[in-house]
Chains A and B, each alone.
Chain A
Amino acid sequence: MSSLLEIKNLSAKVKDKQILDNLNLNIGKGEVHVIMGPNGAGKSTLANVIFNNPQYTKTSGKVIFNGKDITNAKTDEIARDGVFMSFQTPEEVEGISVFNFIKTAKQKITGQNVYFADLRKEIAKNMEELEMKPGMDNRDLNVGFSGGEKKKNEILQMLELNPRLAILDETDSGLDVDAIKLVSKGINLFKNDENAILIITHSTKILEMLKVDFVHILIDGKIVYTGNSELAKEIEENGYNSFKVGE
């Protein structure tokens, strides 16, 4: 498969704390990857560092996306190149409606004018698929949304912005089974042979609803083991202890 994302020897720190330690990861078109790992292992850090969140500093390594070196690219450029991230805790932003936010984002990403009526229809349809309350797109971005509503709103944005690579950071955590089903439904709607998905998760629930190609175990800022979907079940039963280095 042709490669979409290549991460080579990536190390990163936040403030003075080293978090990612020579991490390597390759994702090809059409693939679904899963990263699992204990709390504080560096999973969210990885997503943020790919996106060059200014709070984090890369100390070594390279990130290549779709053949382009994005190691030092700005966050918005990376987004326009086709990378998307569903946030573990999406920000609440007052005074901006979900609709206007998506409209602006879509215009920036496609570089084309987006027509109001077309987008209204499209968003309404996707919201129905995700069983979001009608009219939610008129509310302020994530303000007062429940945990589940915020995560669905992230999936809605993913569907609208149609990236090449979607990184979903614990989109399923804290959700009940019905909500996880809807989020998986959204992911399956999005998925095709040209794009790829990187799912960061704690639980195997969502993995039962998706076809997963690779499962990686991330511990102490490194990928320590890569396997297939069977690996997730093993972790569910035995935890991470057997993967810990030196233990």
Chain B
Amino acid sequence: MIRYAYQGTGFEGWEERLQALPPALCSALLRDMIRIRVIEEEIERRYHQDQMKTPIHLVIGQEASSVGFCAALTREDLLYSGHRTHGAYLAKGGDLRGMLCEMHCRINGCAGSRGGSMHLIDKRAGMAGTSAIVGGAVPIAAGAALSLKLRGSDRVAAVFLGDAATEEGVVSETLNFAALKRLPMIFVCENNFYSVQSPLATRQPARDLHRWAAEHGVASVQVDGTNVLAAREAALAAVERARSGGGPSFIEARLYRFRAHGGAGDDSKTGYRDLEELHQWETVDPIRTYFDFLSRTQLADDRQRDAMYQAAMKEVADAFEFALASPNPEQKDLYTHVYSD
């Protein structure tokens, strides 16, 4: 039984808006999604070798959201996220080697092996912080936005959160505060309908998350999270609102994760969601639908796509090699940075 059907309309009617975009941008969006997919699949393929001693939360199926939203941010804008960090980190421009070293618990990991896959950070790329506590990064992003605003910066702060985070009181509190202070902030809620193996219906009354958010006084929209152009467009509007002093925005992106909540592989067969539901969403795989759309409009062809896959595979192979050759921490490393001077 399909509990949460795809209700979007794909790229129907997007031809004109596509034509208005620079072709280089159109293909960069495809390339960035493919890169994340390839990295995630390689992590997944190697996960059982137990070299990466870290929990993983793959974004396979959710790449359009990572790439589309980050495409509207500059490198200087600040991004925060929850436990499902890989897509946000990579799309924001986080260093791949730093990520894989972190996942291999090496001292040169992006967080010096104190973080693991849930705490990927790259401040040079504006990937500013994460939390493994559901909803935990949301008020922190608001604090970042408050700081930007008080210091007169034109940068914005954005945060990725899951549907379950909207059940945490702190997210309601933060929407209230962000609206009150007109913070330059964007809440990107990736609604994949499940919290671990619990469907939305056992957790919330039937309602639209973006309407719930709007009740807090925050401008809210819903977008098709499988459509990278729709994600980007919604993000651009939100960023424009934030930069021009119009306050925060909440974007509900409806999408689906193709893998288990955590770890490698899918776990639908355990029965919490129907394989049929997964298969339906796989027909709107964000990379394939976008590529098909681009090729229909002669903006990409198989050869270009294959080259994107090849380049990503080479990059990821090199990064794995680098990570595996990197040094482990020493005992003295445990005791540093408990306090700041």
Whether A and B are associated in the same complex: the answer reads no
A residues near B (Cβ < 8 Å) are none
